[in-house]
């Protein structure tokens, strides 16, 4: 009997546990000093009323013999897939067939599971700093070649440089977690051209597309000519519609995307049908409700709430002289620590002096050192309070 020893190679995810340990110790020693958490990547606003109403109705369907649903279709109910296709793609000029859209329980699982359809003998390229799931899932599978880390720092505008060596699988996440920076259509076109020229596959994580405000930033990689022959796209209702606890997302694998003549769509369909049993009917009804007129408006209102928080943080930091990035197309604000401070030292400074908790950039990769992430997912009241504390402490 042998275990999968690749699991032993994964660096234990110390980032959030380390933060929790430090915060808990501080709270125990200073019970009179209330903490404000701007480090969380989880949403806090409740679901849209339209989603709640749809879920209640769906529960009633499950209670009635005539409308009860057993196993859902493996790739999603057709009414949800059609709503996704028309609203998220057709409306942006992207033509997809419904069979190219696979509904799932979220982008994290899909980003992790997609590795099943690729040989272990591929070279993977990831941004640095990075959403850790891309790295850890490849290590777990035992992908044998050294990973290519593409630094994203202020010097290159937080955009990875096209590699000089060949990368087979390229993870791109825009708008980016953690930097909050977006990619323009022109910049993304360079990646599509590289992938098509080299036979690479781009895994495009678009989990934060709902936060895009600028016209030259694509919501989908398929807005870029040539993307259907080189890219898979991951989407999620988590940050778009507050589904982090409900669980729903989807992945697009175009039929035109082929490796050695084999359609990746067929491989992903096989993978999902074998290892995944579909998303609950109640959840899919909630997801479909996001596309009604009222649902769209309610979701936009919630996004606007977080966007306002992001602006409050961004403007507040700027007014104190910080160098700040992100926020414009993202719920994340990425700041340069003052005087070249290490990101964990800056974490301690904020915690001990003003009781504000954020996330040290170094936790997302070596190129995150010297940076710090704040998020807009808290309440407006707490966000304003935290920014006041920052201004009082750092303001001139
Ligand atoms: N992709 C990125 C870049 C994320 O930051 C997150 C969540 O924080 C996810 C995917 C996970 O999304 P989901 O909740 O759909 O699993």
52-92 pLDDT, tens per residue? 999 999 999 999 999 999 999 999 999 999 999 999 999 99
Distance in Å, CA 207 to ligand 1 centroid: 6
Is any atom of ligand 1 closer than 6 Å to the C-beta of 129?
no
Q: Does residue 36 contact residue 386 with C-beta atoms inside 8 Å?
A: yes
Check residue 94 and give its pLDDT. Answer: 98
State which ligand 1 atom lies nearest to the alpha carbon of 173.
3
**Of the ranges 19-23, 116-120, 256-260, 346-350, which one carries the lowest mean pLDDT score?**
19-23
Angle CA(50)–CA(51)–CA(53) in degrees, nearest 5? 65
CA of 378 to the centre of ligand 1 (A): 17
d(CA 213, CA 300): 12
Q: Which atom of ligand 1 is nearest to the CA of 236?
A: 15
Q: How far is CA 241 from CA 62, 219, 297, 354, in A?
A: 23, 16, 11, 32
**Two structure tokens written together for 88:** 């998220």
Confirm or reject: Cβ of 249 under 6 Å from ligand 1: yes
Residue with tokens 């707490």: 382
Residue 144 pLDDT: 78
Considering only CA atoms, which of 183, 187, 169 is closest in space to residue 231? 169
pLDDT at 148: 96
| Beta-strand relationship, 262-263 and 258-259 | antiparallel
* Ligand 1 neighbour 337 (Cβ under 6 A): no
Q: What are phi and psi of 316, to 5 degrees?
A: -60, -45
pLDDT score for 16: 84
Would you place residue 204 in the very low, low, confident or very high pLDDT band (cuts 50, 70, 90)? very high
How much is the average pLDDT of 257-282?
A: 98
Whether 238 is in the pocket of ligand 1, judged by its Cβ within 6 Å, is yes
For ligand 1, say whether the CB of 112 is within 6 Å of any of its atoms. no
Does the structure show a pLDDT above 70 at 163?
yes
Nearest to 180 by CA among 125, 239, 223: 239
Nearest-atom index, ligand 1, CA of 42? 8
Please give the average per-residue pLDDT across 14-21, as a whole number. 85
- List, for residues 117-148, the tens digit of each pLDDT value: 999 999 999 999 999 999 999 999 999 789 99
CA of 27 from ligand 1 middle (Å) equals: 29
**Atom from ligand 1 closest to the CA of residue 243:** 14
Neighbours of 3 (CB within 10 A): 7
Cβ-based neighbours of 4, under 8 Å, separated by 6 or more: 140, 142
Q: Is the CB of 283 under 6 A from ligand 1?
A: no
Q: Which atom of ligand 1 is nearest to the CA of 244?
A: 14
* Residue 11 pLDDT grade (very low, low, confident, very high; cuts 50, 70, 90): confident
């Amino acid at each position: 009997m042998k275990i999968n020893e690749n699991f032993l190679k994964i660096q234990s995810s110390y980032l959030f546990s380390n933060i929790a340990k430090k915060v808990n110790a501080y709270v125990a020693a200073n019970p009179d000093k209330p903490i404000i958490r701007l480090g969380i990547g989880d949403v806090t606003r409740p679901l849209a009323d339209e989603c709640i109403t749809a879920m209640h109705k769906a529960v009633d369907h499950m209670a009635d013999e005539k409308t009860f649903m057993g196993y859902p279709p493996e790739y999603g109910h057709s009414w949800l897939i059609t709503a996704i296709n028309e609203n998220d793609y057709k409306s942006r000029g992207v033509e997809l067939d419904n069979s190219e859209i696979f509904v799932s329980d979220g982008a994290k699982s899909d980003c992790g599971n997609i590795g099943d359809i690729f040989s272990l003998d591929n070279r993977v390229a990831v941004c640095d700093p990075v959403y850790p799931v891309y790295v850890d899932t490849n290590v777990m599978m035992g992908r044998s070649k050294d990973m290519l880390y593409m630094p994203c720092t202020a010097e290159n505008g937080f955009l990875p440089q096209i590699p000089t060596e060949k990368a087979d699988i390229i993870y791109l996440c825009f708008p980016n977690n953690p930097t909050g920076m977006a990619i323009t259509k022109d910049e993304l076109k360079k990646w599509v051209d590289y992938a098509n020229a080299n036979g690479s596959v781009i895994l495009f994580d678009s989990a934060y597309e709902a936060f895009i405000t600028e016209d030259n930033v694509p919501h989908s990689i398929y807005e870029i000519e040539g993307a259907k022959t080189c890219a898979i796209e991951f989407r999620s209702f988590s940050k778009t519609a507050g589904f982090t606890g409900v669980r729903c997302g989807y992945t697009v694998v175009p039929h035109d995307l082929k490796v050695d003549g084999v359609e990746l769509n067929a491989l992903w369909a096989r993978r999902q049908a074998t290892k995944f049993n579909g998303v609950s009917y109640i959840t899919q009804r909630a997801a479909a409700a996001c596309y009604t007129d009222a649902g769209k408006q309610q979701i936009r209102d919630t996004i606007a709430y977080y966007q306002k928080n992001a602006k409050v943080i961004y403007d507040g930091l700027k007014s104190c002289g910080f160098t700040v990035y992100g926020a414009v197309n993202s719920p994340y604000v990425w700041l340069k620590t003052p005087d070249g401070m290490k990101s964990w030292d800056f974490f301690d400074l904020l915690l001990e002096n003003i009781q504000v908790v954020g996330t040290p950039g170094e936790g997302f990769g070596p190129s995150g050192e010297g940076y710090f992430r704040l998020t807009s997912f808290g309440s407006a009241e707490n966000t304003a309070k935290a920014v006041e504390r920052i201004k009082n402490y750092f303001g001139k």
